[in-house]
Structure 1
Amino acid sequence: MSTEQDTAQTSDVLHYFVDEASDPALFDARGRSLIGLDGCSAYFMLGKLEVDDPAALGVALDALRAELLADPYFRRVPSMQAAAGKTAVFFHAKDDLAEVRREVFRVLARHGLRFSAVIKSKHALLAYVRERNAREEAYRYKGDEIYDGLVMELFRRLRPFSDQVNICYAKRGSKTRSAAFKEALEAAEARFERDYGFARDSKVTIVPDVPASQAGLQAADYFLWALQRHYERKESRYLELVWPQVVEIHDLDAAEGGRRGVTYNKKRPLIEDERAPE
């Protein structure tokens, strides 16, 4: 977490669920920039959701899904058919109907959830890559480097002390990234120790999984979707809905006082700041 007061909190086990919004791709197969094209977002986001009771959240979301599937109103909706592999199997904000999203948000509001995210502007990232290419002819941008960098930013800040930290991150495709995730977390902890002068001694378990198996990943997706709608479309009502459960949003490229990087939290709400895409 982000305040000194948080260090006084203790918990036997912390459960974090990590997901991303959009992807870190910048170029097509011919090396042309994708930014600005249909389907390419202007931001890459990585979020973590701390869940007090993952099992209880899973029971609640399963019960909601069963209730919705039994409702004749949704009987012929394509995304509610099991064969489609969408809402009938797991909640995913982009695929779910507006009526479904509203019910999911209602369930999430009743559980102990705390959300944090780190945001990177793809415009700023593209400028960095081009500048580095000009200096280093052999340099080739890879999306994994920005992902790992955001993992470090996401986990280096203060959090409650605990004996065990369980981190579940959303697996994409057939490639698992546990080793890279572990390296990024170790770098984050080293940076934390340098910044604050002491180390956090917790056992950490890192596992990849799919949202269909983890209610925490489904919930993290909803928080990220709300944040993305604010950034990409200036549609803030969803972010405003979940804001009571947001701990902080760290925008790496928002400018303030000649410096880059702004952290939004309860004292400085992102919605009131009305940040718009460049």
Structure 2
Amino acid sequence: MTTPNTNALPPSGLSPTNTAFYFVDESGDGVLFNAKGQVMVGQPGGAMGHFIMGLLQVEDPTTLAVELEQLRAELAADPYFRDVPSFQPGRGKTAVAFHAKDDLPEVRREVFKLLLRHPVKFYAVVRDMQAVLAYVRERNARGGNYRYHPNELYDNTVARLFKNRLHQYESCHVCYAVRGSSDRTRAFASALELARERFARQWDKQVATAIQVTPARSAQQACLQAVDYLLWALQRHYTRQESRFLDMMWGKVSLIHAVDETDKAPYGVYYSKTKPLTGAALRNEVGI
């Protein structure tokens, strides 16, 4: 007997109200193969074991952005960091924007402390790249013209992430982190429309929310730096089994969907404040 998915019950508050501000970034690149068609997952220099899409809902984006910029300016002016390479403007790291991977532990601690003071909500979808690889191989074995591209994983993960996030507001402002030089705003907006359609089809409720999509680089939008920090903490849990950063921020986590943890249910596992993420054996996914 399949365990019922309590997280898939019709969400409360179906009447849209006000405006939501969402900031979206990802950890991992979704790359499965190199130019020669060789599998990169699990190989040295290859893709991370997990692809994670994160969404941070920020109640007051302006205040959060101002405080993050003020904090960075204060740290840059501190003699303690004067000769630190990441604080040298020419390096394009902490001197330009917070980025958890590049920042010193002392800096991370200050950023996490600042985020704890703000009313933010973090959502994420986690994909195991081994499970994605198994799905792609299965599709290829069927024949036909199917060819995997990392954008496929990205766009489908966006749709999963936003399925239950669009209906509660009169309008949603979505800012997503730009990667590389290509502008994928149209594709991102299409993924949001897919999320809207899936919600309407499942609950027979039309979503009239107005959606505005804006691309930005993290140096341009400090709130993207905030979601990067939550993503880093979650990715650290999966890649290094180091959970202290995620534990510290767990009060800001609303929902994490581990899609490929299908031992007990085909839809995976939903982690929340009442069901903390303590570890996962991610496998057995049946589709992207």
TM-score interval w.r.t. the shorter chain?
A: over 0.9
Provide the residue aligned with 1:14 in structure 2: 20
Structure 2 matches for 1:89-168, cutoff 5 A?
89-158=96-165, 161-168=168-175
Partner residue in 2 for 1:228: 235
Does 2:69 match 1:43?
A: no
Amino acid aligned to 1:97: L
Return the TM-score normalized by structure 1. Answer: 0.94
Over residues 42-79 of structure 1, what are the superposed CA-to-partner deviations in whole Å (9 max), with x where a residue is unaligned?
Answer: 11110110001111001111111111011111000000
SS in 2 for 1:253: coil
Distance 1:204 1:103 in 2: 33
Quick one: distance in 2 between partners of 1:208 and 1:147? Answer: 15
The separation in 2 between residues aligned to 1:247 and 1:5, in whole angstroms, is 14
Determine if contact 2:258/2:270 at 8 Å carries over to the other structure.
yes
- Alignment partners' CA distance in 2, 1:154 and 1:49: 11
- Do the aligned partners of 1:93 and 1:101 also contact (CA within 8 Å) in 2? yes
- Cα deviation, residue 139, structure 1: 1.9
Three-state SS of the structure 2 residue aligned to 1:73 is helix
Secondary structure of the 1:161 match is coil
Structure 2: runs of 5 or more not aligned: 1-6, 284-288
Corresponding residue for 2:33?
Answer: 27
The answer to whether residue 94 in structure 2 is matched with residue 87 in structure 1 is yes
Scaled by the length of structure 2, the TM-score of the pair is 0.91
Q: CA deviation at 1:277?
A: 5.9
Matches of 1:63 and 1:180 in 2, distance apart? 34
Structure 1 residue 257 displacement after superposition = 2.5
- Aligned residue number for residue 219 of structure 2: 212
The aligned length equals: 276
1:222-275 per-position Cα deviation (integer Å, ceiling 9, x unaligned) = 00000000011110001101110101000110023353411111121112xx22
Q: Partner residue of 2:191?
A: 184
Equivalent position amino acid for 2:31 in 1: A
Query: Is the 1:167–1:204 contact (alpha carbons within 8 Å) kept by the matching residues of 2?
Result: yes
| Percent identity over paired residues | 47
Higher share of residues assigned helix:
1
Preserved CA contact (<8 Å) 1:165 1:205? yes
Select which of 265, 274, 277 maps to 1:267. 274
**Rounded Cα–Cα distance in structure 1 between residues aligned with 2:230 and 2:68:** 15
Segments ≥4 residues shifted beyond 4 Å: 1-6, 8-11
Counterpart residue identity of residue 32, structure 1: Q
Structure 1 residue runs of 5 or longer lacking an equivalent are: none
Give the direction of change, closer, same or farther, for the CA distance of 1:130–1:160 in structure 2 (3 Å limit): closer
TM-aligned CA deviation for residue 10 of structure 1: 6.0
- For 1:270 and 1:221, locate their aligned partners in 2 and report how far apart those are by CA, in whole Å: 19
Residue of structure 2 in register with 1:68 after alignment: 75
Higher relative strand content: 1
